[in-house]
Amino acid sequence: MDIVWQILIAVFIVILTALVILKLYVESIKGKCTSDVDLSGKVAIVTGANTGIGFHTALDFARRNARVILACRDLVKGQMAVDKIQEETGNKNVLVMKLDLSLMKSVREFVKLFEEKETRLDILVNNAGMAGLPLTKTEEGFEVMFATNHFGHFLLTNLLMDLLKKSQPSRVVNVSSLAHNWSKGIDFENLRAEKDYSIHNCYFDTKLANILFTRELARRTEWTGIYTSALHPGTVRTELLRHLPLFLKFIGFFVKFFFKE
């Protein structure tokens, strides 16, 4: 029995040592922004900015003196994020506006109100997203994950195009994911999940849609002064995975040890 315990302890120490080394390696290769660009006079929209990647993007823009609009579905959480950003940066030119990207009606209402208040748009960050939802249809008949991750941002960007052109040089940044590589190809006859539905394939397809949209938008705006790009943010600790099944959350609990904070 003593030998068994010694072996178990030795295995535990080896595994723990390997995890620590791997964690240190992951920390050493994390990307870091070294830009000191000032954004005074610039106006930025960040969708889904009350938490996670969107929040820290908005926080960084505020630190650079931009006027930042947090486009959020939940105004209460959005205002809490605004208060925190203002407190940390001293930038009072930060506000929240209602935007539910799963509803095209909400996207149009957001743009109408934004254009009534603002005269320019320099940066649009299409960040908001969701994953792991069971099949859910919006009141407009769209599958909610595809609507949120792609259709809403597609419409939002196109409705804001005149302001982006007016404010050139301007930028559109679409937050995609490495997961777009796992898409089997978008079925354009099944965009509303009419035939079948897979939680994972739907998410992969939305991220591929982000990439395809970015490439085509970049082609069409090549000579307009609008710079379009897509990005994979890496593995980041966000609320994106909150809808996943319990067993996947259990696995994710350990995997998150290596995620960016």
In contact, 107 and 159? CB cutoff 8 Å: yes
- Catalytic residue check, 203: yes
Q: Which one is catalytic: 25, 197, 203, 227?
A: 203
Q: Distance between CA atoms of 226 and 80, rounded to whole angstroms?
A: 32
Enzyme catalytic residues = 203
